[in-house]
Structure 1
């Protein structure tokens, strides 16, 4: 084996492929100090490349492994005599555990040793595959499978890992193919020959990777099977036990955390006067890991009865609305309804009025009445800010003590810094409503990021809210809503956690009633938010999740009693408006010539796509530099194409000067004061022809006489092209 640059590249690519196996370990397991294992790989590959004697290789690796184990698991220094004996005894005990198949009894020290041994073996195998067999496809293929499976079924994001693996794998396989051919054919392997093979390989790999990243991706033909597999394993897809990923709406919220898996399966469609949040249930007990219901009380009611949920107080101004809900067909265990629900007024097909509907009054969850369309009657409140701001603290005279205790419950072990943060955020506010709004606004802070995939799973000693507020600051609705609810409870404001769906996507206008719109709600619209209890006003919804806003209607203009009114509540969602075709056409026509709109669109494009613009500029610069470097291979052809179809005899003047330039670039430079005839003889001697002399004679005839026999360029062009072709290099 040679210690040359190609061999060094092979080792480098082998290390990169093996590194991809280590990258997910720290994220998906409790393994720490990954950098130490990476250093071990570098040392192992370096020792193999330098071809050190096996004795020294073993000695260096063993010392490194023992030093690392001592640093990880023992308090005494490496040269402390006691730790090595303890470790030896531990190894013997673990070997007996392996013989007895007591896998759970293996110590962390022994597991670390096994991990080092595994990497040692992998380095040897890669060395064997690369330099002995000169085949590494199996290892490359297994690496691809490994990272794609982790990307699919875990929180590990392997998008960039796929690109790195494909680039490194194709490069190393291309090099190994060259070495196999070279060995079989016993052909020349000097640097120039290797360069002719490797340069196209690098260009091909780089081009393939760039096209794969930049090219548009077609939408999948089949639905993604992963959400359904996880849903089946999860019995509905939202069982949070063990931090399992969520898919759509589910009933078990005892363990929150982990990613939210996208699923565009339609749950129901709605025909209404605008968007509404659709409530399914509420929960009132925060455990530090998730939410539970404090109890269950199920009662029956009928569609002619008022729905037995806490209604909007009579002193709050309301408007009456109706909405028709059409379930998508798949059976679900719940009925979704808007806040302020009054009664179910119609079922299609019609169900008997005496048909019992069950509701859990503790969670306000209504049991499924069957996959039938239903119409609900509900009230939309319009709150007055002056009334909402009247409550400044708990008053036993207006609020039941047991009710207050239930909705201000927090775990005894809740980290105190949550309350400290809430007090800081609400320090300038004096009433419950403004305190709640201050916390709601706090999550608009740029420190917090909405992300459905890279969401942490709390460890055994972690509090779900505390981890999000102070450590990760990344999550989706469950993280934001739970945090707001717990923060307000920590300062004595009663709240509850609400689950359901957002308003969905506008589909079309109703064919039966053009004043109503149709919305489709999918599993992707599953959502959670917060309700704060204000005496005399009822439960007030708040939306802390970054990027979301509810349609609560609050009048801040009348009877202000607080000076802190600079941030009004979100305005109601406007209905889509139908415009006459002529009006729409005129708008489009006017905008098409508005230079300010064009400039804003250009600015927005550069703001959103600047990364791709920079990448494209760098790629263009690299392509231009490469084309300039190999201009001797393509520019002569461009020159010949330029003059091939010219017929004027005067063309010889410009063509001859270009030939001189090409010869100079080729390396046949004309000396100072050297005549054209002498230079022509020099060129003919170099190429063993008489073509340059004949062409120069015709050029001089054109220069001195300014007149050529008709058809001279047609006869001379062949000489000129032959000389141009000789400069191709």
Structure 2
């Protein structure tokens, strides 16, 4: 097909149809950098439209794939080849895992590579259906099924996607039908015929879409199949936690943990504080083997500005007073607060209801005690500065310091917890003598290379499986719920009291406060929902720990010894650094979305590179441009030499067709231009007159014989090539 406007439209419609397959991936999976995959599709269709040689297409596509893999997963520069060696080894390792059917063991780098290869294949198939088969109905129908199934069974909304797909699908099918009719009837197309066909097609599509949008819709005749299928799937089998893919954010039911989730950047609140904080909502203390539930408690009420009796920090711990203001974007009737909370201040008269077991603080209207969600409030809290020497004082549960009932509650574990969980905890902590070092050892254990943070490839424990046991020994892939629950259970198994905490990480820095330059404003979204662990020390209270791989909380611990020295294995805790744009915030029922590609950051890095290397770049660009201009000016000399090399080894008689057309181009490049209405025979006589020979006429006779009969006497190409080479050489003499 010619590179005209009609073929451009076909390629464009093929690109739009394939784009619809990528749109849901960014919402339903943790796949990031979707825009780069879209650019790859666009690049592939562009190369196909330009009819570039297949070898150059392959080189350009492979370069783009390797560049993207390097940008997504490696910190080294693209031209530092160390990463390429590592990635090559990764390919070998992952292929062996495929042979072993270890699908969960495939690395993210390899999955990115596979997605690019899949898109490459799909572009080829769409190109084949469009140009060779001139049929696209199957792909169009598959696209409709794909987006409608996702719309039915997932959180993806395909209303506009269906409209886009129908419009593009009908348009491309109409165009292909037109081209098939032209080919079947052997009719030449012109602009008038094309307009006669396309105008009613556009009118039909536009009117169909318009009527479909404004027409009244009846209520569904059949009930929603999703609840039925989910219920049917659980009959007599495993109870699937989370009912499939969950949406990130705060939720109240944590009795069944596990399974993948999708991100949600909806804003929960904005905070104005002196530093980034972890924000608590509630804690839970009873582990069931599948998740967490709270023990029973009797809530009590206090006045809105009274001192809040929630896990007070012991007086022997050094603290400093801080305050923060919260501007709420979601209607939550509970307080979101940092550890060490003292008071909450509202603009109206509210009361607080405190669940002492969960430490969840609900907000009640001061008039009728009904739950209410304020637009804003401020919190006063104390920030502790723990000392490692004091934390290390606890080596065992002293009955005089810890009540037996308290210890039993926070070391509770299910009776059917596998023994290997306790054995693992003992092996991790066997060299430590106190609770703090044991807790730090378990915390460090999850930072090892054996564990992987993932939001999508997260297993759900079966009916007879334990949630923690599955994560520790089977999958080792999960998000914050997996890491925090596992740390809590490991410590409980060796008698250290722990509890599971839900809330939010510190969010993303927006700006410094205009009213108070010492405070910063942070934005916390559903993607910042998170879970972590608190360990109880009799002389220090509840101390937070962060086991989730890739995350660090803001707790301050002074590792200085009593003699003023710092152990080599420890580092003194430093205050939270001045805020930077942080794209790595977390999630989970409590979950995280991975870092997204920032075009602004990418552009800034390019500008910085040019500022640092501007003179070299300008000089190199000048040399390249000069060389390109010289090559273009001398193209009449070197291009025909390439053609001579290309055809010297060819022996088929059919080569005369392509070789003759190349000769015509070279003669025109030489300056012997053929007139618009001039026949080949007349043009050949003109060339022979110019060069004083008969070679062009002889070659033209053989070309016309091949053109009309589609064959030549066997061995004709040898003599024809000699004539062709002589003429080519005359143009470069």
Matches within 5 A, 1:49-198: 137-148=136-147, 184-185=184-185
Mapped partners of 1:557, 1:497: distance in 2: 29
- Within 2, Cα distance between the matches of 1:642 and 1:467? 69
Tell me the residue number matched to 2:332.
332
User: 2: distance between equivalents of 1:334 and 1:504?
Assistant: 19
Match of 1:544 in 2: 547
**Superposed CA offset, 1:5-38 (max 9, x none):** xxxxxxxxxxxx9xx9xxx9xxx9xxxxxxxxxx
CA distance in 1, matches of 2:690, 2:391: 101
Number of the residue aligned with 1:377: 380
Is the aligned partner of 1:436 residue 2:436?
no
Is the 1:498–1:528 Cα contact (8 Å) retained in structure 2?
yes
Q: Give the RMSD, CA atoms, in angstroms.
A: 4.9
* TM-score normalised per structure 2: 0.52
For the pair 1:694 / 2:695, whether they are aligned, the reply is: no
Counterpart check, 1:362 vs 2:367? no
* Contact 1:298–1:359 (CA under 8 A) maintained in structure 2: yes
Partner of 1:207: none
Q: CA deviation at 1:594?
A: 10
SS of match in other structure, 2:342? strand
Distance in 2 between the 1:639 and 1:595 partners? Answer: 29
Q: What is the aligned partner in structure 2 of residue 102 from structure 1? A: none
Q: Secondary structure at the match of 1:338?
A: coil
Pairwise CA distance, 1:657: 9.7
What is the CA-CA distance between 1:658 and the residue it aligns to?
7.6
- CA positional deviation for 1:459: 2.0
Question: Paired residue for 1:278?
Answer: 279
Q: Distance in 2 between matches of 1:568 and 1:150?
A: 53
Offset at 1:373?
2.2
Distance (whole Å) between structure 2 residues aligned to residue 186 and residue 594 of structure 1: 59
1:514 is displaced (CA, Å) by: 1.1
Q: Which residue in the other structure is 1:253 paired with?
A: 254
5 Å matches for 1:227-626?
Answer: 241-242=242-243, 245-328=246-329, 330-344=330-344, 346-348=345-347, 350-351=348-349, 355-369=350-364, 370-559=373-562, 566-568=569-571, 571-576=574-579
Q: CA deviation at 1:331?
A: 1.4
1:343-386 residue CA offsets vs partner (Å, 9 max, x unmatched): 22x322x42xxx42111111110003531422221111111111
User: 2-side partners of 1:304 and 1:444: how far apart?
Assistant: 41
Q: 2: CA distance between counterparts of 1:661 and 1:273? A: 69
Change (3 A) 1:444 1:322: same
- Shift in CA distance, 521/179, structure 1 to aligned 2, threshold 3 Å: closer
Alpha-carbon distance, 1:246 to partner: 3.5
Greater relative contact order (Cα 8 A, min sep 6): structure 1 or 2?
2
Alignment correspondent of 2:677: none
C-alpha change, 1:538 and 1:447, in structure 2 (3 Å) is same
Which region of structure 1 is more displaced relative to structure 2, 281-290 or 372-381? Answer: 372-381
Q: Say whether the 8 Å CA contact 1:273–1:575 is kept in structure 2.
A: no
* Partners of 1:246 and 1:258 within 8 A in 2: no
Say which SS state the counterpart of residue 246 (structure 2) adopts.
coil
Structure 1 residues 257-313: Cα deviation after superposition (integer angstroms, max 9, x where no partner): 122321111111111111111111000011111100011321011134210212011
Q: Counterparts of 1:341 and 1:246 in 2: how far apart (Å)?
A: 29
What secondary structure does 2:247 align onto? coil
Change (3 A) 1:178 1:548: same
Q: Which runs of 5 or more residues in structure 1 are unaligned?
A: 1-16, 29-129, 163-168, 188-229, 579-590, 600-637, 644-653, 670-683, 698-719
Q: Deviations over 1:564-612 (max 9, x none)?
A: 761447643223499xxxxxxxxxxxx999999969xxxxxxxxxxxxx
Q: Gaps spanning 5+ residues in structure 2: where?
A: 1-17, 30-128, 162-168, 188-225, 231-239, 365-372, 582-604, 614-628, 648-657, 663-679, 694-723
1:335 is paired with a residue whose SS is coil
Alignment length (residue pairs): 438
Question: Secondary structure of 1:143's match?
Answer: helix
Deviations 1:224-280 (Å, cap 9, x if unpaired)?
Answer: xxxxxx9xxx9xxxx964455132111111111122321111111111111111111
- Rounded to whole Å, the distance in 1 between the matches of 2:631 and 2:386 is 81
2:491–2:498 contact (8 Å) kept in structure 1 = yes
**Is the 8 Å Cα contact of residues 274 and 518 (structure 2) preserved in structure 1?**
yes
Inter-partner Cα distance in structure 1 for 2:440 and 2:152: 38
Paired with 2:475 and 2:339, the residues of 1 have a C-alpha distance of 32
Partner Cα distance (1:452, 1:404) in 2: 34
Cα distance in 1, alignment partners of residues 488 and 181 from structure 2: 68
Q: 1:143 to 1:294 in 2, by over 3 A?
A: same
Q: Check 1:459–1:688 CA distance in 2 against 1; reply closer, same or farther (3 A cut).
A: same
How big is the shift at 1:563? Answer: 10
Distance 1:497 1:474 in 2: 19
Equivalent residue runs for 1:700-711 within 5 Å: none
Contact preservation (8 Å) 1:529, 1:543: yes
Partner SS for 1:447 = coil
Q: 1:426 to 1:246 in 2, by over 3 A?
A: farther
Residues 498 and 535, structure 2, Cα contact 8 Å, conserved in 1 = yes
Deviation at 1:546, TM superposition (A): 1.1
